[in-house]
């Protein structure tokens, strides 16, 4: 917003005395500013910085590096974005700047064109970053090279062959920072969508490690668990639910309108003395545009239960959300126990 951009221009003027603050603000708040989305605004600010900072790339970077510690978070990602757009011809200076900027915002998007341009050189740099004393820099080594990083430039080479990144993930698998460990888990989950056997082989090796590493393994296998992959379920101790059954399953109402919710309940019963280790989920088969369907799995609970039976109640809302569009038609909801569907019901979703 205007307050933020005023503060930015003030800070830039501290390190570049001739910086034209008013002209920069006029350039940024043009007639299309309100219509731009967040990443479009970031790129527009990047172009403005290039327009009004010194023409020499190294000199402009020095100004930005001095200003960067005063700004943080996603909204400050125009600092590394400047490197992404204007720094590909000056690797040495650019990599120094990306390492600096990621300490305050994140260079996870900006490193990707460098990886695409010279993968071998960047893998060497990522290995150096993975050994950094700074957790933000270590996280960059994993996050910036994720094969399926959301909203980011694709890395088809890593998607096809994740092997170059495995030594880096191995180094970070017991990192003291949860921030770094979460990135490693997300990286593994990305790989699992194209190379499940690679991730499962790592999981089998890493599960004997520290508790923090075991968390990485399970979180990194979450897509495989949701898919009901038998090898993954067995790895985490979920047996086939042959001695389990569902009783008194009810879903209501059978007809809802957009913005409403369905509620469902059931009893999970064991034929033995206890339920044991359970992963309980439900799947909704959504109607898509033109009548196609798509399935999404949601967790209800998981744990080791000593009782013979447990009662569950849950609900699923069809209130509008930004990440999913709803369409009228017949939907299906299924109860999943340890990867296997055991009960289902259908309901109609209508326009409000």
Q: Note whether 313 and 190 are same-domain residues.
A: no
pLDDT digits (tens, 9 = 90+) for 266-301: 999 999 889 999 999 999 999 998 889 999 999 999
Residue 248, class by beta-carbon neighbours within 10 Å (0-12 exposed, 13-18 middle, 19+ buried)?
exposed
- Out of 182, 201, 235, a domain closes at 235
Burial class (CB within 10 angstroms; exposed 0-12, middle 13-18, buried 19+) of 332: middle
Q: How far apart are CA 267 and CA 334, in angstroms?
A: 14
Average pLDDT, the chain: 96
300 and 266 in a common domain: yes
Q: What pLDDT shows up at residue 322?
A: 83
Torsion of CA 19, 23, 27, 29, to 10 degrees: 110
Residue 71 shares a structural domain with residue 205: yes
Which pLDDT score, from 0 to 100, does residue 291 have? Answer: 80
Angle between helices 91-101 and 135-143 (to 10 degrees): 120
Q: Is 270 found in the same domain as 315?
A: yes
Per-residue CA distances from 273 to 29, 80, 241, 284, 311 (Å): 68, 58, 14, 31, 16
| Closest C-alpha among 344, 120, 324 to residue 251 | 344
Model confidence at 1: pLDDT above 90:
no
**pLDDT at residue 98 above 90?**
yes
Task: State the CATH number of the domain containing residue 272.
Answer: 2.60.40.10
Q: Is the pTM higher than 0.85?
A: yes
Q: Do 216 and 88 fall within a single domain?
A: yes
Query: Do 61 and 165 fall within a single domain?
Result: yes
Closest Cα to residue 177, out of 138, 205, 141? 138
Are both 135 and 272 inside the same structural domain?
no
At 290 the pLDDT is: 84
Give the closest residue to 167 by CA, choosing from 208, 129, 197, 218: 129
Length of the chain: 352
User: Do 173 and 87 sit in the same domain of this protein?
Assistant: yes
Q: Which domain holds residue 19?
A: 2-235
Q: Please give the pLDDT value at position 248.
A: 96
CB distance 342 to 241 below 8 Å: yes
Q: Quick one: what percent of the chain has pLDDT higher than 90?
A: 93
Residues 222 and 89 grouped into a single domain: yes
224, 292: one domain: no
pLDDT (average), residues 55-83: 96
Are residues 174 and 115 part of one domain?
Answer: yes
Last residue of a domain, one of 211, 235, 259: 235
| Domain end residue (candidates: 202, 235, 268) | 235
Q: What is the CATH number of the domain that holds 171?
A: 1.25.40.290
Total number of domains constituting the chain: 2
Residues 190 and 293 in one domain: no
């Amino acid at each position: 917003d205007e307050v933020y951009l005023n503060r930015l221009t003030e800070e830039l003027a501290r390190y570049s005395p001739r910086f034209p603050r008013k002209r920069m603000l006029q350039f940024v708040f043009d007639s299309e500013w309100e219509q731009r989305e967040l990443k479009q605004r970031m790129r527009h600010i990047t172009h403005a910085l290039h327009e009004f900072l010194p023409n020499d790339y190294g000199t402009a970077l020095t100004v930005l590096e001095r200003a960067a510690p005063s700004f943080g978070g996603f909204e400050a990602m125009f600092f590394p974005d400047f490197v992404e757009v204007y720094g590909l011809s000056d690797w040495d200076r650019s990599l120094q700047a990306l390492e600096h900027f990621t300490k305050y915002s994140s260079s996870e998007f900006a490193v990707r064109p460098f990886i695409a341009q010279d993968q071998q050189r960047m893998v060497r740099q990522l290995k150096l970053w993975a050994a950094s004393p700074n957790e933000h820099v270590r996280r960059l080594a994993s996050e910036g090279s994720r094969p399926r990083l959301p909203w980011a430039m694709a890395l088809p080479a890593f998607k096809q062959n994740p092997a170059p990144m495995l030594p880096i993930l191995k180094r970070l698998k017991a990192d003291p920072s949860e921030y770094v460990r979460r990135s490693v888990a997300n990286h593994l989950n990305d790989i699992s969508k194209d190379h499940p056997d690679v991730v499962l082989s790592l999981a089998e090796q890493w599960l004997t490690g520290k508790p923090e590493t075991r968390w990485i393994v399970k979180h990194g296998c979450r897509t495989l668990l949701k898919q009901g992959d038998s090898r993954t379920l067995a790895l985490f101790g979920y047996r086939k639910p042959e001695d389990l059954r569902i009783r008194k399953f009810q879903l209501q109402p059978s007809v809802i309108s957009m913005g409403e919710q369905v509620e469902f309940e059931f009893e999970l019963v064991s034929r033995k003395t206890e339920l044991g280790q359970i992963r309980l989920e439900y799947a909704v088969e959504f109607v898509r545009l033109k009548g196609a369907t798509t399935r999404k799995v949601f967790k209800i609970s998981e744990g080791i239960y000593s009782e013979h039976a447990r009662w569950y109640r849950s609900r699923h809302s069809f209130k509008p959300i930004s990440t999913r569009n709803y369409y009228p038609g017949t939907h299906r909801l299924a109860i999943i126990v340890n990867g296997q569907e055991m009960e289902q019901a259908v309901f109609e979703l209508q326009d409000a």
